[in-house]
């Protein structure tokens, strides 16, 4: 408890001190910048006729440079469904242009930010493959190398991790390893392929691999991804999941909003891997109203989720509402 209070106090002091500093570009070292996400939701489960309010995410972070070749990142989750979590605690070293080494608690080279990061997601709830496979972060080291192959940007990434998710520095004989290659940028056409070996313990060992493709131009974007999780032990089943999602940003002139965002997603997940199709399919339709400022942005979303269940799955056993048709209203602030 004392550690949490101390960390929150430090974050508060830094936030107050940086308000005026963020008005200009920081050139002196060391420097820092505050960022955050507040994600509030109201959910109505149609099948069981129950509803709830939740603070799904309340993240605050600090990032900055120590000098022109090293930087740091710290981020905490003040309330993830009522739980305090430390998310990022890492330092980076850039000895050459395009080459960087990051050590500490950081993201693994498997998931796209626009699928798992609350501030970048297209919908209130994550796609199945971003929620039910493994944790998005771990303790370890990550190496990135960026360069251009002709006109095509290339990003190579490799990571070595404890393989026990976040905030748990266990001793391990077999660590987790993973990597991916990304071709292209977020504007235009982008492709990536990834592989992650996760030997957690004697009863849990996954090999996860997949690929994704996205295209964005002007105000339109479409994204698709497929990911397979092979279990090397008998405790868990193999798992296969994919999604395809798209959105079109419509600029509007309003006193309160800058754009209107209709979006649609179809995703599915399967662990039987038989000829009868995926165990669970889901259609998500969303409508959003948002604004963009220089330092702040916000969006109000209305999502409808329709589940098509062929076989019951253990991942939805936590409560009856997990695979229920839902209506979700979300208010998201980012700064």
Residue boundaries of the structural domains of the chain:
2-334
With a pLDDT cut of 70, the percent of the chain lying above it is 92
Average pLDDT over residues 266-286: 93
Q: Is 326 exposed, middle or buried (0-12, 13-18, 19+ CB in 10 A)?
A: buried
In sequence order, what are the residues at sequence separation of 6 or more whose Cβ sits closer than 8 angstroms to the Cβ of residue 279? 269, 270, 271, 272, 309, 310, 311, 312, 313
260 CB-side CA count, 13 A: 5
- The predicted pLDDT at position 80 comes to 77
Q: Is 19 exposed, middle or buried (0-12, 13-18, 19+ CB in 10 A)?
A: exposed
Average pLDDT over residues 110-122: 94
The residue ranking higher by pLDDT, 2 or 178, is 178
* Mean pLDDT lowest among 15-19, 237-241, 259-263: 15-19
- Give the residue from 129, 75, 79 showing the smallest Cα distance to 105: 75
CA-to-CA distance for 177 and 225, rounded, in angstroms?
A: 21
Q: What is the total residue count of the chain?
A: 335
Strand pairing partners for 147? 154
Q: Could you read off the pLDDT of 193-235 as tens digits, one per residue?
A: 999 999 988 889 999 999 999 999 999 999 999 999 999 998 8
Q: Could you read off the pLDDT of 290-315 as tens digits, one per residue?
A: 988 777 889 999 999 999 999 999 99
Residue 254 main-chain phi, psi, to 5 deg: -150, 155
Residue 6 pLDDT grade (very low, low, confident, very high; cuts 50, 70, 90): very low
CA-to-CA distance for 293 and 313, rounded, in angstroms?
A: 42
Q: Which top CATH class is 2-334?
A: mainly beta
Q: Could you read off the pLDDT of 96-114 as tens digits, one per residue?
A: 999 999 999 999 999 999 9
* Mean pLDDT lowest among 4-18, 153-167, 234-248: 4-18
Res. 62: pLDDT tops 90 = yes
- The predicted pLDDT at position 97 comes to 93
């Amino acid at each position: 408890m004392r550690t949490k209070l101390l960390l929150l106090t430090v974050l508060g002091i830094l936030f107050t001190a940086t308000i005026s500093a963020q008005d200009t570009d920081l050139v002196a070292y060391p420097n820092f910048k505050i960022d955050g996400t507040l994600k509030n939701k109201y959910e109505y489960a149609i099948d069981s006729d129950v509803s709830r309010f939740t603070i799904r995410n309340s993240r605050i972070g600090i990032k900055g440079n120590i000098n022109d070749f090293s930087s740091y990142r710290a981020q905490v989750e003040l309330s993830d469904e009522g739980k305090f979590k430390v998310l990022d605690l890492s330092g980076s070293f850039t000895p050459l242009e395009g080459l960087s080494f990051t050590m500490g608690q950081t993201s693994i080279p498997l998931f796209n930010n626009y699928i798992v990061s609350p501030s970048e997601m297209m919908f209130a709830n994550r796609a199945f493959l971003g929620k039910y496979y493994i944790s998005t972060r771990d303790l370890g080291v990550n190496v990135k190398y960026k360069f251009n192959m002709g006109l095509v940007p290339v990003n190579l990434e490799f990571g070595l991790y404890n393989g026990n998710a976040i905030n748990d520095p266990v001793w391990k004989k077999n660590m987790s390893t993973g990597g991916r290659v990304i071709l292209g940028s977020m504007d235009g056409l982008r492709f990536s392929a990834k592989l992650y070996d996760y030997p957690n313990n004697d009863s849990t060992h996954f090999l996860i691999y997949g690929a994704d493709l996205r295209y964005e131009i002007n105000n339109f974007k479409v994204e698709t991804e497929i990911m397979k999780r092979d279990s090397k032990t008998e405790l868990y089943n193999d798992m296969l999941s994919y999604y395809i999602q798209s959105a079109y940003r419509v600029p509007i002139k309003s006193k309160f909003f800058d754009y209107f965002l209709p979006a649609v997603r179809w995703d599915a997940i399967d662990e039987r891997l038989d000829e009868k199709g995926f165990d669970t399919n889901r259609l998500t339709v969303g409508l959003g109203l948002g604004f963009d400022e220089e330092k702040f942005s916000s969006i109000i979303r209305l999502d409808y989720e329709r589940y098509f269940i062929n076989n019951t799955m253990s991942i939805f056993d936590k409560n009856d509402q997990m695979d229920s048709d839902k209506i979700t209203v979300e208010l998201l602030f980012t700064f």
